[in-house]
Amino acid sequence: MDHFPIEKYIDLENNPYLVGRISVHNVKQSFYVEVDIIHRESHKIFKHIEILYNQNSAEEAIITGVQKLRQFLDLIERKGAKSDSLH
C-alpha cells in the first residue's frame, strides 16, 4: 500500500446505482480517510459522510472508514423503519 490515495469500494445492498467509497490519504506520518457514497457509474459524490483524521496506518484508516460507513447506513435504516411504522 505505497501509492496514495487508496480507494476501496463497498457495494450497497438494495441499491444498484450507489456504492460506498473509502479513500485513504497519507500526509507526512499520518493518514486520513474520506467516507462517501458515490454514484456507481459517474463516481460523483451522492453523500459525503465524514473525514477521519490522525489514523495510525492505512489499514486502520480503512477499517475505521468501513465502520463509519456501516454506522451511517444503520442510522439511515433505523430512521426508515421508524417512519414506516408511523404510517
C-alpha span between 71 and 36 (Å, rounded): 13
- The residue type found at 52 is L
Domain boundaries defined on the chain: 6-85
Phi, psi of 72 (to 5 degrees): -65, -45
Q: Is this structure's pTM higher than 0.75?
A: yes
Q: Give tens-digit pLDDT for 42-81.
A: 999 999 999 999 999 999 999 999 999 999 999 998 887 7
pLDDT category at 85 given cuts 50, 70, 90 is low
Q: Does position 23 have pLDDT exceeding 90, yes or no?
A: yes
Conformational region of residue 49, where left means phi above 0, alpha means psi within -120 to 50, and beta covers everything else = alpha
C-alpha span between 81 and 84 (Å, rounded): 5
Residues 6 or more apart whose CB falls under 8 angstroms from that of 65 comprise 8, 22, 23, 24, 33, 34, 35, 52
